[in-house]
Amino acid sequence: MIILLKENSSKSQMNYLMKWLAQKGVDVHVSEGVNRKLLTLTGNTSEIDTDLLKSIEIVDDVKRITEPYKSSNRACHPRDTVVRVGNAAFGGGNFSVIAGPCSVESKEQVLKIAQDIKKSGAGLLRGGAFKPRTSPYSFQGLRENGLKILAEVSKETGMPVVSEIMEQSQLPLFEDIDVIQVGARNMQNYELLKELGRTKKPILLKRGLSCTLQELLMSAEYLMMGGNENIILCERGIRTFETTTRNTLDLSAVPMLKEMTHLPVIVDPSHGTGLAKIVPPMALAAVAAGADGVMIEVHNDPANALCDGAQSITPSQFDTLIKQISKMRECCYKYDSQKEE
């Protein structure tokens, strides 16, 4: 961390600052610039609040040299983390597809969709039991029963399942769920993250609607600080001024995150666009951008889905899409191997 001081700082102000920094346990090296001093801090600077530092009278500006995220930082851990769930894997060259209905509506529905998507090649089944809905008057999910249905379908089909948790107290109900999803609205629910960091379950952490990539990694830190390193990051669209699509899918996040962190990164084009008709091209674009997986909403009867039917594709459209994805990955992989020869 570098601190740039204002010109003409008094001795007493300087002493005050040096004492403040000493309390933080970092080493300080003073360099003389042209007409102002520069302090270089080394040691564990991640705990220093830069906004606070800036509020000290003689400090003109503060610049982090190292990123404030540590455990998730690729600089500290260059090799890809691979998250494995059943036979599926994310990261380190592994690519998997998560698919299923937005909400669990009945066992028949989930089982039917699970069988279809498994045949097409999906690695994991998703389904919402607790649903975060903007309106309290909308369907809120089957809750505990929804999780039970997922667990049963998982047992019958052999597919691992992903479902969203909304509250710390729901955690015991997720025992038979293989991957716990933290939704966009809870990405900065720090108490929940701390609790999940103490479990060993893989966590699917979705980017908040107005959260930066750095904030996403800081939320991953909350999980990793507790010892849980099985984290899959998920880009699912950010909120911008454009209203044609429900959100703006930020695919640049994929190559950027792959550079910033060793954690696997997947993309959810269903929530990211809100429009079934552009889910296939955006899923393919996510693959081309380097994603380690995609999560796709599939419903056998979108018009009668209890939520978000507008963004669900049918099992048959999903089958076509997954063939295109395989073709693209095969062709890109082949290309890569040719390059390496």
Site for a copy of itself in 270-309 (CB under 8 A): 272-278, 281-282, 284-290, 302-309
For the bound state, the minimum distance from the C-beta of residue 35 to a copy of itself, rounded and expressed in Å, comes to: 8
Cα separation, 129 vs 60, in Å, equals 50
Cβ atoms 14, 6 nearer than 8 A = no
Q: Binding to a copy of itself (CB under 8 A): which residues in 189-208?
A: 189-192, 194, 208
For the bound state, the minimum distance from the C-beta of residue 38 to a copy of itself, rounded and expressed in Å, comes to: 6
For the bound state, the minimum distance from the C-beta of residue 264 to a copy of itself, rounded and expressed in Å, comes to: 16
Q: Binding to a copy of itself (CB under 8 A): which residues in 17-46?
A: 20, 27, 29, 31-34, 36, 38, 40, 42, 46
- Of 168, 176, 114, 108, nearest in space to 148 by CA: 176
* DSSP secondary structure letter of residue 91: B
Cα separation, 128 vs 227, in Å, equals 26
Nearer to a copy of itself, 77 or 185 (CB): 185
| x-marked contacts with a copy of itself along 128-167 as a string, rule CB under 8 A | --x-xxxxxxxxx-------------------------xx
Q: Binding to a copy of itself (CB under 8 A): which residues in 95-124?
A: none
Cα separation, 192 vs 181, in Å, equals 11
Is residue 182 close enough to count as binding a copy of itself by CB under 8 A? no
Pairing of strands 124-126, 37-42: unpaired
Cβ atoms 213, 246 nearer than 8 A = no
The CB density around residue 233, as the number of other CB atoms within 10 Å, is 29
- Of 332, 336, 307, 323, nearest in space to 109 by CA: 307
- Number of residues counted as binding a copy of itself (CB under 8 A): 116
The interaxial angle of helices 107-120 and 144-157, nearest 10 deg, is: 40
Considering only the stretches 91-99, 104-112, 117-125, 254-262, report the one whose residues sit in contact with a copy of itself under the rule CB under 8 A: 254-262
Cα separation, 295 vs 108, in Å, equals 21
Nearer to a copy of itself, 159 or 265 (CB): 265
Is residue 171 close enough to count as binding a copy of itself by CB under 8 A? no
Nearer to a copy of itself, 119 or 323 (CB): 323
